[in-house]
Amino acid sequence: MATIRNPVEWGMDQFRTWSRAVASGSHAVYQADEKVDSLVPAIRRITPADLKDVLAKGLDDFGAYRTDVIFLCLIYPVIGVVLARAAYGRDMLQLLFPLASGFALVGPFAAIGLYEMSRRREEGVTITWRDAFGVLGSASFSAILALGMVLVVIFGLWLATALAIYAVTLGPAPPASLGSFIHDLFTTGAGWALIIVGVGVGFLFACFVLAISVVSFPLLLDRHVGVATAMWTSVRAVMANPVPMALWGLIVAAGLVIGSIPLFVGLAVVMPVLGHATWHLYRKVVAH
C-alpha cells in the first residue's frame, strides 16, 4: 500500500538521489592516473595589484596575436546577435538582458582556446588561431567538456529563473514591444522589483560560477586532473583570495557589459583579453 510522505522525507530522498548522481558523475570524469601530489594543488595568496599584472599580460598576449584572436573571437558577437534576434523574433524580449549577462556564466568555457594559446606562448611556441584548437587533443579534454556542460546547464537554469522572475513581476504575457518593456521596467514598481530581484539572483549565479571555474579550466589544460579536483581547487583559490577574486569578478562583468554594447561587437576584443588574462591569473594563484 502506497504511503504519502511529508515534504521533508521527499526532500531528503531527492537529496540522496542527487548526491548519488553527483558521485557517479565525478567518478566518470575523474582521471584514474592522477598523481597524488596533483590532487590538491597549493594555492598562493595574491593582492589586487596582481590583477593589474595579469591584465597587462593578457593585453600583451592579445597584442602579440591580435589578428588571430579577433578572427577566432568574432564568433562571440555573432552568437550574441543571433541569440538576441531569436529572442526578439520569438516574443522573448524579456530574455535580452539575461542572454547578454549570461555570457559571464559560459565565458570560462568559451575562452578555453585562448587559455591554450597563452599556454603555448609561455612555452615559446609560435602560434596562430589554429593552435587554439589544440585543446581538442588535450588528455583532459573529456573533463574540460564535462565542466563546460556544467556551465551550460547553469546558463540554462539562469534563463529559466529569469523567465520565472519576469512572470511574477511584469508577466506573464511577453512585452508588447521593446519600448513598452523599457518603459514598464523603469517606471513601475513591478519593473523595479524585476530589476532588483533579477540582479540579485544573477549575482548569486555569477558568484557560484566564479567560484567553481575561475582557475579550473586552465588547471585542466595544464595538469592531468579530474573535474572534481579542478572545481575544488578553484573554490579554494576564491576562499584564499576573496577580495582579489571579487574584484576580478567585477572586472569580468564590467568588461562583458561594455563588450556587449552595441550589438556584442566589443566581445571580439574583450573576450580574448579576459581569456588570456585568466590564464595568467591561474599562473599566479595555483602553485607549481
Residue 190: the pLDDT is 93
| Residue reference for cell 595589484 | 49
Residue 89: the pLDDT is 63
Cβ atoms 272, 255 nearer than 8 A = no
Per DSSP, what are the bridge partners of residue 43?
286
| Residue reference for cell 556542460 | 149
Dump the DSSP string for 45-109. ---HHHHHHHHHHHHHHHHHTHHHHHHHHTHHHHHHHHHHHHHHHTT-GGGHHHHHHTHHHHHHH
| Residue reference for cell 561587437 | 265
Residue 79: the pLDDT is 67
Task: Give the integer Cα–Cα distance in Å for 108 and 125.
Answer: 23
Residue 187: the pLDDT is 92
Cβ atoms 109, 151 nearer than 8 A = yes
Cβ atoms 222, 119 nearer than 8 A = yes
Residue 125: the pLDDT is 72
Helix (H) or strand (E) run with residue 42 in it? none
Mention every residue, 6+ apart, whose C-beta is less than 8 A from residue 50: 244, 281, 284
Locate 218 and state its grid cell.
Answer: 586552465
Q: What is the pLDDT of residues 182-238, one digit of tens each?
A: 899 999 999 999 999 999 999 999 999 999 999 999 999 888 888 999 999 999 999
Residue 267: the pLDDT is 78
Task: Give the integer Cα–Cα distance in Å for 207 and 197.
Answer: 15
Residue 261: the pLDDT is 74
Low-confidence ranges of the chain (pLDDT < 50): 1-8, 10-12, 14-28, 30-38
